[in-house]
Structure 1
Amino acid sequence: MIKNFRRVPGTLALALAPLLAAVPAHAAAPAPQGPRPAVVTTLADAVGLVKAVDENRTGYTPSAFKHWTSGELPSDGCDTRHEVLLAEALTSPAVGAGCTLTGGTWVSYYDGQEVSSPDAVDVAHTVPPAEAWDSGASGWTAARREAYANDQGAAASLTPVTARTNRQRADQDPADWLPPVPEAHCRYAGEWVATKLRWQLTADKTETEALKVFAEGPCEDTVVQYTPAS
């Protein structure tokens, strides 16, 4: 809408007057934005949605991804790691002062192990921070990297696994490491791709080729669900 009507040439102003008068005062207000809908597809299709780009780890440090923060419920005294452990526990642990956890059991789907001590469980980033950095996060703001590192908005983003297996995996992508339990491969590939799409991360050539082995074979019908991160 033309705000400074007086500066419009006279003949044009006369022609536009009826149109401008008919425009409601609120017409230019943006429509309210609701929650972004989830995208549901199969691994066979999802792999092709991840852009293939060469990786570059220049400048990466673990401190670039601040975690663990105070979590989704700061008033409960638990950080993101503890909140994930509480949410994913097979048997709930006791919660003490300062969100100290005792007891409880968890299943690490990477290796099929049941763990009965919180100290023996890592909350793993499905796509490790170093890999995220390689795949586009190097250009993000510190705030977005922090949001990524503490993402509880998608079940696939953070997963409790045995500390031993998580450290064996380290920063490797599916071209170099897969869960030791073959039955976990389809889930792992699906959650890896879902996380990359949620955060608009890319993949390098060898990573893409490794994912295609599953997407074009035993895991083609694996459901991939993700909601784009804001």
Structure 2
Amino acid sequence: MKWRIAANGVALVVAISSVAYVAEEESVGAATQKFVANDAKSVLASIKVKNEYKWGYRRSLFAHWSDLDGNGCDTREEVLKRDSISKPQVDPYRCYVVAGDWYSKYDGKTLRDRSDVDIDHVVALKEAWDSGAWAWSRSQRQAFANDLTDRRTLIAVTDRVNASKSDKDPSNWMPPLKRYWCTYLGDWISVKARWGLSMDQSEYGRIKNLLASDCSTLTIASWSAAPALAGVPATSGTSATTATTTPRTTVAPSLSPTTTSNNSGTAAPTNTTAVANSTVNTTSPSGVKDIYPGSYCAPVDGLGTYKGTVYVCSKTNAEGSPYAGGRARWRKATN
């Protein structure tokens, strides 16, 4: 069946293949968003290709499952509520989802026990770190880890499937449900481009090949600016809208499996430079200061270099033992 929703003079047609719970305020919000379809290959070409940064990651560097909007619900509970395909039962006193039903798009399974549900960062936290988040502030990493401003960042999936994915990129992991591959690739490209994250050569090459072989008509909806990224360079490219003459599969945040909107907005950055012309960074990251090993340092988790080797400002040595006096020192970063 179809629902037609009007908001601020804009019509939105939502095709629903099965009955799903959607909060009223979420429906209105989605209707007022502006989406512009962009060719996935063009968006991919706008993403920088460089070697991953393999030093210093710890999950604790990304404060996750926070309550950034102060409404009493942490990010995990927010996604459990949002992604339930039935009206979730929520404990109002501590914002805890007591019951719900979740469809895992990675493997096509319907889950009825919240303990079987993981909230997956489509681009894993470690992958984000390796791709540029190492240079972000703590608040920027927290914003990424708890991003509810774009539905493509976080998704409720089967826990075992999420465990098999771990921090892998599409070069060595794709969802078991092959018919979801194009949507997954679109979400992956969107998150990387929106947050100004890079790709390594194998990741870029696999995605490029899959777009050519399996998802040649894939388009990606545009996005709002990523939160808390002021001062961080965005993905380079020229804004443009790619015109199409053939039907395309559009991947966008949606109220249901398919949405169509007559809105228009700013297109995603586009850069026609191919990976063959991209510069691969094989040196230490630019902007990292020179330091002297073993000296006192601040802030904790800051990065520096000495004779081409990367060091991290830490209160513990490489074995995890704290330094005397509790003061941080420069030590070699570990992979």
Would you say same fold, with TM above 0.5?
yes
1:88 is aligned to 83
CA drift of 1:92 comes to: 2.1
1:179 is aligned to 175
2:37 is aligned to 40
Which has the higher relative contact order, 1 or 2, with Cα contacts under 8 A spaced 6 or more apart?
1
- Cα distance in structure 2, aligned partners of 1:179 and 1:202: 21
Q: Does 1:227 align with 2:224?
A: yes
CA drift of 1:40 comes to: 3.5
The CA RMSD over aligned residues, in Å, is: 1.6
Give the alignment of 1:1-230 within 5 angstroms. 40-72=37-69, 74-75=70-71, 77-96=72-91, 97-225=93-221, 226-229=223-226, 230=229
Q: Is the CA contact 2:100–2:114 (under 8 Å) kept in the aligned structure 1? A: yes
- Cα distance in structure 2, aligned partners of 1:140 and 1:108: 31
CA drift of 1:88 comes to: 1.3
CA drift of 1:38 comes to: 5.8
- Cα distance in structure 1, aligned partners of 2:36 and 2:198: 18
Which segments of 5 or more consecutive residues in structure 1 lack a partner in the other structure?
1-35
TM-score, normalising length: structure 2: 0.55
1:28 is aligned to none
Q: Which amino acid aligns with 2:128?
A: A
Identity of aligned residues (%): 35
Which segments of 5 or more consecutive residues in structure 2 lack a partner in the other structure?
1-32, 230-335
CA drift of 1:39 comes to: 5.8
Query: Secondary structure, in 3 states, of the residue corresponding to 1:41?
Result: strand
Q: Is the CA contact 1:102–1:117 (under 8 Å) kept in the aligned structure 2? A: no
Runs of 4+ in structure 1 off by over 4 angstroms are 36-39
Q: Which amino acid aligns with 2:56?
A: G
- Cα distance in structure 2, aligned partners of 1:46 and 1:224: 8
Q: Which amino acid aligns with 1:121?
A: V
CA drift of 1:46 comes to: 1.6
Q: Which amino acid aligns with 1:169?
A: K
- Cα distance in structure 2, aligned partners of 1:71 and 1:98: 15
Query: Secondary structure, in 3 states, of the residue corresponding to 2:80?
Result: helix
Q: Which amino acid aligns with 1:45?
A: S
CA drift of 1:205 comes to: 0.2
Q: Which has the higher helix share?
A: 1
Judging changes above 3 Å, is the alpha-carbon distance between structure 1 residues 228 and 37 closer, same or farther for their aligned structure 2 residues? Answer: farther
Q: Is the CA contact 1:89–1:105 (under 8 Å) kept in the aligned structure 2? A: yes
Larger CA Rg, structure 1 vs 2:
1
Count residues with an aligned counterpart. 193
Q: Residue deviations 1:24-83, cap 9 Å, x none?
A: xxxxxxxxxxxx9766312222211111010022000000110111143x23x2101111
